[in-house]
């Protein structure tokens, strides 16, 4: 065994997670290794990790995890009741819980549980990066980013890119259908996509280093892996600082110091 339930609980608290927080994050839970926990209390590793999160957050707290499908981008019907997201095992486990709710977004849906779940999820616009979209709501609620075995960044970074009008991304509309109560409804989804070029691929090495250097992000070891937690406001401030230094800092171009000719960027 590489870690215990108590190890995970202590690590979350030491990283800065506390009662009443609103938390969003990405995860790769297998990297922690093999856990030990009371199997009379928890049914699986995902159950143990989720319930430990909820125990710390308490009834006043809220946990939100990605359940992205990018259905319309792939020419597929979006079924929020059935479609698995690409956020990993923990996100999928939360999605299947009766107490959780999922946003009706055929591209960047999220699943939430807790006191502010309905407030964050309800009446979501078709553009997650709009002024009333998920990421602005996360910022309005002073959320925290808590990543399990991931770097300090999150998909909130793309919202910061939009705020800074980066030259390598643009809004693109996708059309499709959403299945609700076995009925199909036509809809649209607007995503802040990147121009197709190797230089525009996401690279968050500088962000991760800068967040750690500025002590805005806490890294706590758990088993074979780690937890990284920082406030959404710190993520915004650090992101803005880095993009002021170079508008390409969140890309391979910014890290490899090879800025492409605009004519090379393809939609």
Q: Which sequence spans correspond to the domains of the chain?
A: 3-264
> Which among 265, 263, 204, 262 is positioned nearest to 238, based on CA atoms?
204
Residue with tokens 């990297």: 31
Q: For residue 256, what pLDDT is reported?
A: 81
pLDDT at 154 over 90: yes
d(Cα 65, Cα 99) in Å, to the nearest integer? 14
Does residue 30 sit in helix, strand or coil?
A: helix
Residue 267: pLDDT band by 50, 70, 90 thresholds?
Answer: confident
Mean pLDDT of 143-151: 98
Q: For residue 213, what pLDDT is reported?
A: 94
Residues 69-108 have pLDDT tens digits of 999 999 999 999 999 999 999 999 999 999 999 999 999 9
Angle between helix 45-57 and 5-15 (nearest 10): 40
Mean pLDDT of 29-53: 97
Task: State both tokens at 40.
Answer: 């009379």
pTM of the entire structure? 0.95
Average pLDDT, the chain: 96
Mean pLDDT of 55-79: 97
d(Cα 45, Cα 50) in Å, to the nearest integer? 9
Q: For residue 1, what pLDDT is reported?
A: 83
């Amino acid at each position: 065994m590489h870690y215990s339930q108590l190890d995970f609980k202590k690590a979350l608290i030491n990283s800065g997670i506390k009662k009443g927080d609103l938390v969003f994050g990405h995860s790769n839970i297998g990297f922690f290794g093999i856990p030990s926990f009371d199997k009379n209390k928890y049914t699986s590793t995902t159950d143990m990790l989720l319930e430990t999160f909820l125990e710390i957050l308490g009834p006043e707290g809220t946990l939100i995890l990605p359940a992205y499908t990018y259905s319309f981008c792939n020419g597929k019907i979006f079924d929020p009741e059935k479609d698995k997201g690409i956020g990993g095992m923990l996100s999928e486990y939360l999605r299947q819980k009766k107490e959780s709710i999922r946003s009706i977004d055929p591209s960047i849906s999220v699943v939430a549980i807790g006191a502010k779940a309905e407030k964050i999820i309800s009446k979501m616009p078709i553009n997650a990066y709009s002024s009333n979209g998920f990421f602005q709501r996360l910022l309005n609620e002073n959320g925290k980013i808590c990543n399990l075995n991931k770097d300090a960044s999150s998909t909130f970074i793309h919202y910061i890119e939009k705020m800074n009008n980066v030259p390598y991304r643009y809004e693109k509309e996708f059309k499709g259908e959403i299945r609700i109560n076995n009925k199909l409804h036509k809809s649209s989804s607007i995503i802040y996509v990147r121009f197709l070029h190797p230089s525009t691929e996401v690279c968050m090495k500088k962000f991760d280093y800068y967040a750690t250097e500025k002590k805005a992000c806490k890294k706590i070891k758990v088993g074979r892996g780690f937890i990284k937690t920082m406030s959404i406001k710190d993520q915004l401030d650090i992101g803005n600082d880095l993009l002021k230094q170079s508008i390409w800092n969140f890309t391979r171009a910014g890290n490899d110091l090879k800025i492409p000719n605009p004519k090379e960027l393809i939609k």
